[in-house]
Amino acid sequence: MVIISRARTGASLRHSLCFEIEDRHPLSPEKLWFYCGLYDTLDFCGHNLRLFVFDRYGHNKRELDLCVLYLDGVIEMATGPP
């Protein structure tokens, strides 16, 4: 995991970028839930967390929407699996 954090001049929102390289260890549900919890905590403090996932060759870059994943997880915990 690599985290890059920066603040925009004149803005109160800080941006943090996380990069995961799935070489031999793809994102597990536990690790993904960790990122969702981190997203929620940082969002409360006025930070924006973005997660980018790559394969080991740097191809197939994708950004995971942590907000949607977090809310889906919370709803599933409250109501049970679909």
10: left (phi over 0), alpha (psi -120 to 50) or beta: left
| Domain coordinates in residue numbering, the chain | 15-57
The Cα–Cα gap between 40 and 18 comes to 14
Give percent of the chain above pLDDT 90: 4
Over residues 48-53, mean pLDDT: 89
Is residue 1 scored above 60 in pLDDT? Answer: no
pLDDT-based confidence at 14, cuts 50/70/90?
confident
